[in-house]
A and B are shown apart, each in its own frame.
Chain A
Amino acid sequence: MPQRLLALLFVLPALAVIVLLFMVPLGASLIGAFESGEGYGIANFIKVFELYRWDVLFTVMVVLLSTLLIGFFSTAIAGYLTLGENPRAVAVLRWLYRWPMFVPFIVVGQVLRTFLAKNGLMNNIFIELGLMTPISATSFLDWRGIVIAFVWKQVPFVALLVAGAMASIDRGTIEAARNLGASRLRILVEIVVPQIATTLMVGLVLSFVTMMSVLSVPLMINAQSPTMLTADIAFRINSYGDYGVANALGFVSLLITAGAAWIYLRHSVKERA
């Protein structure tokens, strides 16, 4: 069947790219995770547990908290875009909220580093306004800084997806609820969000995976220990040339993102069914 052969031929380049540039390195790093000086085994994972267990927990907590906050803020923004009654405010918000999407993570890190420092811009504004004394100023350059950076950067992305979904739901359901006297908040929570829950979930899962892989933000903002897994992976390679433990750390973060991917797949399969 020449037509089928032709189809295969067309798929081949894409397939080769995926195999060569994605599957092979992934396989190599998975195998490398079990490879140490003493041959194959779980020595690397023992080291990960001994040295980096708090970092694993820290990473999961930071990313989960960020995901929750992203869900909250993006729903709020998209909700206002859909249900807002002041056309001018809606227009301004629509124009403003997308900007952070175009700012690279490393720039976010750099900006927040001067913004959130103990004597940084944010605290200086509070002090000038008389809301705070210089003595009580504290630095936000720790896990809070990472969460702020992640949320600021990822909210627009999820809000964009969610706002699109909200715009395409049947306005009739909203109008009906409004006619019956429901407040806007109640409409958002009880009518709109349940209808776009799948889209919201997909956006959050994608954000979760993105945040798991960001290196620049924890490096620039969080100097403390514990830190995020990406910083540990970079450190293992750069300071020790130790790819084994770095791969094992990668394996652990892969397991974490696999959890998120599982949720994503379950939802997208359900959607198509």
Chain B
Amino acid sequence: MKTLIQATLAFGLVASPAAAAELTVMTAGDQNMVDYVNQYLGPLFEKQNPGVTVRAVGTGPGDAGSQKILERFEAQSKAGTATWDTDVAVVHEKFVGPMVKGGYLDKYRGDIATGTLVTRDNARMALGSNVDGYVMPMFNSQTAIAYNPALVPNPPKSYAEIAEWAKAHPKQFGYNGIKGGASGVSFVMGWVYAFGDGDAKKLMNGPFDEAETKKWDKAFASLRDFTKDATLTPGNAGTLDLLSRGEIAMGPVWVDMFYSWQASGQLPPDLKLVLPAPGMPGQPMHYVIPEKTANKELAEKFVALATSPEVQAEGIVKRFNWYPGIDAQHVQASLDAATWNKLFKDITPEDLAKYGKPFPIAPYNSAILEAYERQAMN
């Protein structure tokens, strides 16, 4: 039955063969991802390659957006379509593994000049799947705890201190649970890293072991009590909303969203960030190129431009407040000191190296979410 639906879907999608000079970039994530391609990267690429038009398609925020891209590839692969409707896709880390396994992707990193500028682990392994060569990180994003210094003069430096603080200040800590966006998910993952009885390293690197999933009972029991004292917010933006209105004093946020909201005046300028021990997860977004794109050469050129130090400095760091996808030292040279310092003001590069963690590998990730539903919510 599923195949039938997928076939029907694929039938509807049968790629209208893109004109040779049209590059379709499909991107998951919030509107800012589409804006990034439409307003910055696309025009830049079009200028360097006259006659080419870049078309950005957004598939929606969060994992749902990447899931849609994955299903699109799956459908076209099953339907045996000769050339696919996507030339470059931007997807979350979690979905690259299944794409590589399905054989949907081109192994292109060795073919582009900027491929050597990435040495970070998360460009080789994506939540336990080997994706070496198939991805170039567009940027790295990180979650952290945002707080209002007027209400919290001495911010907690670790999860244990956060738990203590939240108990002493009921309803002043806010997070968005696990159904309203990844900043809440990330907070929960960090909680399990901190208070789970198992080995956090194993959760991040694998291999998956069923026995490990039984070691979280204590962590979820304490998280349940913690959540009773906390305020639940509607979504990533909801946490920032409540922070800006002073309804909560502290909560987990995405660092890039935090800075962007501050830059646009949606958040008071005096709010600050802290990355608590033993660490909170972050994740890269990856550029991938489908094996069956009609414009492989153009697509590779596009990714090479997108991951060049200049574009990473100007577009990723300066305009959108993300951490660079390629190694930071290559980007620093193309950036003025003020911008560099702004990004690393509250959270130093050392903090980031020490407390910036990956998400757990996919099976643990799902197991933790379901354990949260089972033990911390019901």
Give me the interface of A with B, judged by CB distance under 8 Å. 20, 24-25, 27-28, 31-32, 50-51, 54, 113-114, 117-120, 139, 141, 219-227, 231-232, 234-235, 237-241, 243
Contacts and interface: CB of A to CB of B under 8 A. Distances in A.
Contacts of B141: none
A117 B67 contact: no
20 contacts: A20-B8, A24-B5, A27-B1, A32-B2, A51-B373, A54-B378, A113-B238, A114-B241, A118-B242, A118-B247, A119-B245, A219-B179, A220-B234, A223-B176, A223-B233, A224-B177, A237-B64, A238-B62, A238-B67, A239-B179
B247 A139 contact: yes
Interface string B354-370: 00000000000010011
Interface string B225-267: 0000000111100100110011100000000000000000000
B179 A235 contact: yes
Contacts of B378: 50-51, 54, 225
Contacts of B180: 219, 223
Given A141-B234, A240-B366, 11 more contacts: A32-B2, A139-B247, A222-B234, A224-B232, A225-B232, A234-B64, A235-B179, A238-B63, A239-B179, A240-B370, A241-B67
B146 to A, nearest CB: 17
B178 interface: yes
Interface of B: 1-2, 4-5, 8, 62-64, 67, 176-180, 185, 232-235, 238, 241-242, 245-247, 366, 369-370, 373-374, 377-378
A39 to B, nearest CB: 14
Contacts, number: 83
A227 B180 CA distance: 11
Contacts of B235: 219-220, 223
Nearest to A47: B370
Contacts of B246: 119
B234 A118 contact: no
Give the interface centre of A20, A223, A224 by most chain B CB atoms within 10 Å. A223
A29 B242 CA distance: 38
Give the 9 A-B CB pairs with smallest separation, nearest first: A238-B64, A223-B234, A223-B232, A225-B377, A28-B1, A119-B245, A118-B247, A235-B179, A238-B63
A85 B155 CA distance: 63
A24 B373 CA distance: 32
A243 B4 CA distance: 15
B1 A32 contact: yes
A226 B67 CA distance: 25
Contacts of A50: 374, 378
Contact of B370 (A51, A220, A223): A51
Contacts of B245: 117-120
Nearest to B369: A239
Contact of B1 (A31, A221, A223, A240): A31
A113 to B, nearest CB: 7
Contacts of A119: 245-247
B234 A219 contact: yes
Contacts of A234: 64
A237 B68 CA distance: 10
A59 to B, nearest CB: 14
A234 B178 CA distance: 12
A221 B8 CA distance: 35
A109 to B, nearest CB: 9
Given A54-B378, A117-B242, A240 B369 contact: yes
A67 to B, nearest CB: 24
Contacts of A32: 1-2
A224 B177 CA distance: 8
Contact of B2 (A28, A114, A226, A227): A28
B78 to A, nearest CB: 15
